[in-house]
Amino acid sequence: MEMQLNKIVYLIIFLVLFSCKKAQENISINTISKTIELNKEWQGDQLISDLNFVNSIGPTCKLNSSFFGRTDKQIKDDNLKCALSKIKFNYEKLNSLNSKIFIGNINPTTKIFIKVTKPDNTENADIYNQTTLFIEANKKITDSVVIYHSINFSEALTVKERNYFIDNDNIYLLDVAEDESGTSVERWSQNKINSLGKIVLIKQKIFSVKNSEKIIRTEDDSWKGTYHFEASNRDGVKTIFDITINSLEDILVNVTEEGVKNKYPNIKAEKVDTDKIKISYNPSSDDMGLIFIEKSDNEYYISGNPIYFINPGNNEMPLQKTNTKPF
């Protein structure tokens, strides 16, 4: 009887401890989720991230009649026809910011905030409003970018605006200009906050107003191609890396070690800076599944612990690149 009672007591203690542990886990999970959640009130409009939407602005916002002499109905119809009317976020509220606004945490050590800043040059502008996003990593400002401005040149009858959308570590920027002919897009870009708290350009589209031709320039293009590296260690065992980069979002890594070939498709790279990318092709191997590719002029180099393991004392080795596409 006493033994059975002891079992019941142990069971109750176990259940209490288990419940406490689950409660702590739930609190921890909720706390983390709340930490990385962005302030939706100041994220901007999601349409800014949609390149199809951006492409529709020029055709739908171009005026078919003279800017002057339009009736109230014509003005209303033109505004409704313009794709920009679909944007619901009120960017003008940024003009009245009187303190910095915390947007959220990108990771446990990196946070972002916005505040009104003073532009460098307002010589020809009648009205100029500007807001800048700042990145703070380990309590130090590591980078910043102007995410909003509204410039009014009344003499030239031109208004220029920059609007934005923040999605986790992605920052989308849209520059438009409005004049007597309507509203046109000047530039769109997608930028990313990397692990060092720096803003790097992922891709952009520049619109030529002069001849209405659209020019796409993607920074990813400079990385496109196939890369080959092979070396033998002191025991004569050869390791081969064959890397195909279609874009920084689509990478294939083939690794041959001791005659055994392993394939790692659909890998995404992270930009360390303008001339260096990080590729984690096998997260289960920790640092042994992580390599870096760096470019210097027309030369490319591969580094990382797998390379150091092959050639101790030399963590950076030349990398052969083919199928280079012009940028």
Q: What would the DSSP string read from start to end of 43-57? A: SB-GGGG-HHHHHHH
Confidence of residue 231 (pLDDT cuts 50, 70, 90): confident
CA triple 66-67-71, angle to 5 deg = 90
Q: pLDDT, tens digit, for every residue of 259-300?
A: 889 999 989 898 888 788 999 998 887 778 889 999 887 788
User: Looking at the predicted structure, is the pLDDT value of residue 19 above 60?
Assistant: no
Check: CB of residue 83 under 8 Å from CB of residue 61.
Answer: yes
Q: Residue written as tokens 């065992």?
A: 237
137: Cβ–Cβ under 8 A, 6 or more apart, which residues? Answer: 109, 110, 196, 197
Two tokens, residue 300:
């490319």
Check: CB of residue 227 under 8 Å from CB of residue 293.
Answer: yes
56: Cβ–Cβ under 8 A, 6 or more apart, which residues? Answer: 83
Give Cα separations from 290 to 61, 202, 212, 278 (angstroms).
47, 21, 44, 7
Helix segments in the chain, DSSP class H: 2-36, 51-61, 72-81, 305-310
Report the pLDDT value the prediction gives residue 216, as an integer from 0 to 100: 47
pTM of the complete model beyond 0.85: no
Q: pLDDT, tens digit, for every residue of 154-181?
A: 665 788 899 999 998 999 999 999 888 8
Q: pLDDT, tens digit, for every residue of 35-50?
A: 457 888 999 999 999 9
Among 269, 246, 270, 265, which Cα is nearest to 255's? Answer: 265
Share the mean pLDDT of the chain.
80
- All structural domains of the chain, each given as residue ranges with its CATH number in brackets, are 40-217 (no CATH), 222-322 (2.40.128)
